[in-house]
Amino acid sequence: MKTDMEKDWTGKISDFLVGKTVKHIRYMTAQEVDDMGWTRANIVIEFDDGHWIVPMADDEGNDAGSLWTSEGNKLSIIPAISRGYL
C-alpha cells in the first residue's frame, strides 16, 4: 500500500514528466559545475517545453549523481564525470 507521501510525490512527478519530449541531452558546462560547487559534471536532460532535470547525489544537491538505466550492457549506467574531463 502506498503511503500518502509516496502518492503525493508520484503525482507531482507524473504531472511534471508525463508527456514531455526530450529535446536535448548534454553534460553540464564547467561553469555550471562551478556554480553548483560540485566536483563532477552530470547530464542535463532538456525538454521541449524549456524544463530540464539533472541527477544529484542526494536531496541536498551535494554533488552530481549517476543514473541507472534499463538498457542493460549497452548503457546500464549514465555516469557523472570528473570536472577534469570538461
Q: What's the average model confidence in pLDDT over 6-30?
A: 95
pLDDT given at position 3: 87
How far apart CA 47 and CA 7 sit, in angstroms, is: 24
Rounded to two decimals, the pTM is 0.85
pLDDT given at position 7: 93
pLDDT given at position 86: 56
* Of 41, 50, 43, nearest in space to 16 by CA: 50
pLDDT given at position 62: 92
Residue 75's contacts (CB-CB under 8 Å, 6 or more residues apart) are: 69
Other residues' Cβ atoms within 10 Å of the Cβ of residue 28? 22
pLDDT given at position 83: 73
Asked if pLDDT for residue 43 goes beyond 90, the answer is yes
- Say how far residue 45 (Cα) sits from the centre of its chain: 7
